[in-house]
Chains A and B, each alone.
Chain A
Amino acid sequence: MINIRLLKAINKYKWDYLFLLPKFILFLIFIALPVLWAFVIAFQEYGIFETIWTGLDNFINTFTGDLFYIALWNTLRYTIIVVPSQVIIALILASLINPLNRKAQVFFRGAFYLPTVTSVVVIAMTWRWMYNSKGLINYLLSLFNLGPVNWLGSSDWALISIMLMSIITPPGVGIILYLANMGSIPESLFEAARIDGAGKFKTWLKITLPLVKPTTFYLTILGTIGSFQVFTQVLLLTDGGPGYATTTLVHLIYNSAFRDFDFGFAAAQAIILFMVILMFSLVQKKFLSSDIEY
């Protein structure tokens, strides 16, 4: 009885389900299953021949070892320096580009976005060359009688080098989103400010800045999520070294999984990373979110 009704319903909507089916199957196999599986592996010692349930061991080992805290601290430092820098740089550049004529806008938008279309591998390889002891940056410093700096080889400078690369590579996405946001602010607001005799800077501070808050919020959250997953440039520039000076959370996960082949340990660390990211996103949501209407 129920089966017949079910079959009838399925028949009625069969085209809808057929259209959805390929994507849904791919989603189940390559996203839903691995997500659930991660929460199983995290409680196991996974081996090719034998898998043992170990309860909370992987989590306990993560929290009792030193390495996790070193990686967390490096990742936090990277995030705290890089994310605000990128957001502020994007805001300043977009504010300067926004009043220009259409052609100049398109040109600068393109020029600042271009470096980010290439892969991080390409960018990091180029920076590794520029950071070489006889590379471009040390040469430029020598013109001012500074340096040479052992950029990637000393624990004092290695993390700074990785941050510097992320900061100087222009925040193309941020600039484009700010420009789109600024372009949608009604001209009447600026006119009103002009009539009231407000100067350019004051108009920017009192009108533009509050009205681009949604973009600031979006970029901060997105940037934080991205920064917590920083990996490629670490692998290519320093491989986490010297010592553990630049080991980040994802680098730690990568090492646990694919150098030590401790899959359970890596899965537990990945879940902890997920929780840390979630926590930071919620905190930022609380402090930064706004419901400005205009």
Chain B
Amino acid sequence: MGLKTAFSNIAKVTVYLFLILLALLSLMPLYWMFVTALQLPEQVFSIPPKFVPTAIIEFFPLITSGEQAQAFFLLSEAFRSIKVLFTKVGLQHWFVNSLIVSVTATLGVLLFDSMAGYVFAKKKFPGRDFIFWLMISTMMIPGQVTLVPLFILIGKLGLKNSLGAVIFPPLAMVFGVFLMRQYMKTIPSELLEAAKIDGASEIAIYWKVIMPLSKPALATLGILTFMAVWNSFLWPLIILNKDYLYTLPVGLKTLQDKNLVDYGLLMSGASISAIPMILVFLFFQKYFIKGLTLGSVKG
């Protein structure tokens, strides 16, 4: 008996160690990106590689030994690439563009998809099922099919080289309508009828009854949309050709094309692009997970 528990304890510890090792391995690239971003430029290529930025190791020892000037010089050297990105490259414009595009598209998707999801879930009107299945059936068509026509269309609409060109296509995505409909079906119809008897207008029912009750689905859809637009690459890459209009991923690509081996600079840009998504994930983790399980076929 004692032998058996000892055996199962060893097995448990082995599983934990194995998982921790794999977790470290999977986080390694992100860690290495941050390390390179903050490494002193002349030490980026040093062999053996330095796994902690020199400035971080030496800052406090230098401070305590009274060499403050040297300490702050090291620190400013560590942030040199980041400074270059903001003063010479203009990365802040890309950052702001990404923010504008992601926030606008997310708000639009939340509004339009909840409106459409509401009538699909709770109303009966001629053509409802036909329109719903028409929209859903396009979900399986890969984005590359619409790439060329959309490119021509955006040109004809005069939206080329504008942030609108990046905002409109995600607004048309069908996934959110499906998600909102599935969720709103679970709201009891009695609530809507009670509100109607109390004399609430159609808009009031939607805004004051449906929307508050759909908060979990809205949070999930909001986060998934924000992440998708913030990270989207191919479409903004082909539709934006002016560097002050780039979103972060497009800006990073052109940065790489112009600075092929300045890895300190490239990793600094990548880090700045990654940090907001990492923060969003850490704060709203449960909505990411709910979104994935809601979005899958099992439901």
A positions within 8 Å CB-CB of B: 9, 13, 15-17, 19-20, 22-24, 26-27, 29-35, 37-38, 41, 46, 93, 96-97, 100, 104, 106, 108-115, 117-123, 125-130, 132, 134, 136, 139, 168-170, 173, 176-177, 180-181, 214-215, 218, 225, 228-229, 231-232, 235-236, 250, 253-254, 257-258, 263, 266-267, 270-271, 273-274, 277-278, 281
Contact = CB atoms under 8 A, between A and B. Distances in A.
A111 B25 CA distance: 10
19 contacts: A20-B131, A23-B177, A27-B135, A27-B174, A30-B168, A33-B149, A37-B152, A117-B277, A177-B296, A215-B296, A215-B298, A218-B297, A232-B233, A232-B234, A270-B142, A270-B147, A273-B144, A274-B145, A277-B142
A47 B115 CA distance: 39
Contacts, number: 253
B214 interface: no
A23 B277 CA distance: 27
A26 B253 CA distance: 29
Contacts of B197: none
B212 interface: no
Nearest to A271: B145
A285 B169 CA distance: 30
Interface string B120-137: 100101101001001100
A117 B227 contact: yes
A257 B169 CA distance: 19
A176 B126 contact: no
B292 A132 contact: no
Contacts of B292: 173, 176-177
A100 B248 CA distance: 38
Interface stretch (B15-23, B70-78, B185-193): B15-23
Nearest to A37: B149
Interface in B160-184: 168-169, 171-174, 177
A177 B293 contact: yes
Q: For chain B, which range describes its interface: under 10, 10 to 19, 20 to 34, or 35 or more residues? A: 35 or more
Main secondary structure of the interface of B (DSSP, over half): helix
Contact of A134 (B47, B140, B256, B267): B47
A112 B230 CA distance: 20
Contacts of A123: 29
Contacts of A250: 144
B263 interface: yes
A19 B115 contact: yes
B86 interface: no
The 5 lowest CB-CB distance pairs between A and B, nearest first, are: A119-B231, A30-B172, A37-B149, A34-B146, A34-B149
A280 to B, nearest CB: 12
B142 A273 contact: yes
B267 A126 contact: yes
A127 B26 CA distance: 12
B118 A176 contact: no
A250 B277 CA distance: 26
B153 A37 contact: yes
Nearest to B113: A23
Interface in B269-299: 270, 273-274, 277-278, 280-282, 285, 288-289, 292-293, 296-298
B217 interface: no
Nearest to A257: B148
Given A134-B47, A139-B47, A218 B231 contact: no
Nearest to B285: A110
Contact of A125 (B19, B119, B256): B256
B2 interface: no
A100 B14 CA distance: 13
A254 B23 CA distance: 35
Interface string B22-41: 11011101101100100000
B238 A258 contact: yes
